[in-house]
Amino acid sequence: MYALAKRWFVDTYKDARAVIEYEDPATLTIIGNGSMPYNPVIFSGSDGRRGSIKYTLEIAFKPGRCRVRIGNYVHTSSYALGSILADTLVCSDASAYRGLGGGTKFLSRVCMEEVFPMIKGNEEAILHSLDAALRAAKDDDW
């Protein structure tokens, strides 16, 4: 299963060497860094928020089990002056955003209506893809 997860990294991220940050065959753990594009749809200041959201992905195995953890989300803006979200997505702590990009109320709306659903969709796609890869390998007997 560990080898299949490494193969999944290659197939999913195209350059596993650039993505995998840590791997330990003894503990059957792989930690990598991923990124997804962030193209905001809520209008106010959207060009300043356009960029990417990077995250950490950990896959660990024990006999008959697999644990996947996804977190450490960081927003990087393509805006010349830097990220309007202060380069981090700590949307649960609205106080971190006072005075930035339209104020706390606006940024809470961005997080609740745009960022969280995007992250959830990305996490679901990752889990589905990894699950499908691990199951398909069990059925492959060539």
SS3 138: helix
Highest mean pLDDT among 32-46, 50-64, 75-89: 50-64
Residue 130 above 70 pLDDT? yes
Residue 92, class by beta-carbon neighbours within 10 Å (0-12 exposed, 13-18 middle, 19+ buried)?
exposed
Domains plus CATH for the chain? 2-136 (3.30.530)
113-128 tens-digit pLDDT: 777 888 889 899 999 9
82 or 9, which is more confident: 9
For range 69-73, the mean pLDDT: 87
Q: How far apart are CA 106 and CA 37, in angstroms?
A: 21
34-44 tens-digit pLDDT: 888 887 777 66
Q: How confident is the model at residue 104 (pLDDT cuts 50, 70, 90)?
A: low
SS3 119: helix
Q: How many CB atoms lie within 10 A of CB 110?
A: 25
- Res 86: pLDDT: 40
